[in-house]
Structure 1
């Protein structure tokens, strides 16, 4: 009887996985809650297990999908159930998001609004654990020429040297 209950549970979470994937395909990522996106990432790392409780525990600990994905590996490992393969999947997603955002630099996509600038910066550095002085160099059409970290500091302070900012802007025209 126990094996029958285990078999039903296995069918349920495999059916759940397919339902989530289908909803992602049909309705897009906006139709999924943060914990469901975390589940989709965890499915690959933990194929033989119901990952919904783990996804919800990660949200309780870190607050949101992007904060969980970008958390330091040692902090992720503190959550029961997060092993090396699950942490690696999170770091793959984080690297892909950063690479995607930096693709805008190579294509010189225009940043037409303040919201686009903020979204780009969030993707690049939202969860850093210390202050970073980052410069976005734009052309006259607001196309991103370069994105450079000019300096990093402590938790609440970063030195800035205006002469270096101007020198680099002149180099990049």
Structure 2
């Protein structure tokens, strides 16, 4: 333990051992020294340098350590990245697709989904109950975190009060890989129920290309017409792609 004495006792304990489930078999009780040493080095690099010090596959290894306590997880980390593309895509992948990868069981899926849920909650905490128009970068980050890697289209509505504070973020509809049914009357009805005076519409394009379709433009016009009739403002409609987004307001479409 001499090389990590500069950490606190609680941090150093991370390097000493991995947790072993009480019902683990004899093969899980002993951990080869090369695996133990590799994990210690990786954790040390993360604690010293943060996430920027590690490539995607090593970040993924850190997540997999707890799910697979006594086996080298590097091959599985690389396989997941090969299948899904990048770290974020692995976390966002549906459980059913993750389970198709050899070596991925319930424990791995659970760990990945815990990290995904934590990321969503953290991003949401930066915008919920806050004036979103003055926190636009945080809003875009939240939308990217929540929707960029979904494999089906989702349509969300962010409801705002008179001070443009985000009071609710609700999933209105789920669709297919290239279509989601949206009913303008239901969107406006929900705004009235929440006493919202403004809305931001958000949906994703699983293809990765955020370019609006003709259907996107038409449904936005329909929602805007229904909202304006009741004095509700549509601030924007955001389309979220894999690595970028398009704003209807910025594009002159709203």
TM-score of the two chains, using structure 1 as the length reference: 0.80
- Aligned equivalent of 1:172: 196
Rounded Cα–Cα distance in structure 2 between residues aligned with 1:32 and 1:137? 38
What aligned pairs does 1:140-151 form with structure 2 within 5 A after superposition?
Answer: 143-151=165-173
Q: Tell me if 1:127 matches 2:149.
A: yes
Aligned twin of 2:35? 13
Residues 1:32 and 2:54 aligned together: yes
Say which is worse superposed, 80-89 or 161-170, in terms of deviation.
161-170
Q: If each structure's strand is expressed as a fraction of its own residues, which one has the higher value?
A: 2
Rg comparison, structure with higher value: 2
- 1:86 paired with 2:108, answer yes
Deviations 1:58-102 (A, max 9, x none): 100110111111212222122222122112111211222222233
Distance 2:150 2:116 in 1: 13
Over 3 Å counting, the alpha-carbon distance change for 1:141 and 1:30 in structure 2 is farther
CA distance 1:56–1:137, change in 2 (3 Å)? same
Q: Where does the alignment leave 5 or more consecutive residues of structure 2 unmatched?
A: 1-30, 198-254
Determine if contact 2:127/2:139 at 8 Å carries over to the other structure. no
Give how far 1:119 is off: 1.6
Distance 1:31 1:140 in 2: 43
Q: Secondary structure at the match of 1:154?
A: coil
**8 Å Cα contact 1:133-1:152 kept in structure 2:** yes
Which deviates further from its counterpart, 21-30 or 94-103? 94-103
The answer to whether residue 131 in structure 2 is matched with residue 97 in structure 1 is no
Matched, 1:44 2:66: yes
For 1:150, what is the secondary structure of its paired residue? strand
CA separation of 1:71/1:33 partners in 2, compared to 1, >3 Å: closer, same or farther?
same
Q: Larger deviation: 102-111 or 54-63?
A: 102-111
Normalized per residue, the structure richer in helix is: 1
Q: CA deviation at 1:159?
A: 3.0
Root mean square deviation, CA, Å: 2.4
- Distance (Å, rounded) in 2 between the aligned partners of 1:94 and 1:153: 21
Residue 31 of structure 1 deviates from its aligned partner by: 1.8
Bigger drift between 137-146 and 147-156 goes to: 137-146
Count of aligned pairs between the two proteins: 165
TM-score (norm 2): 0.57
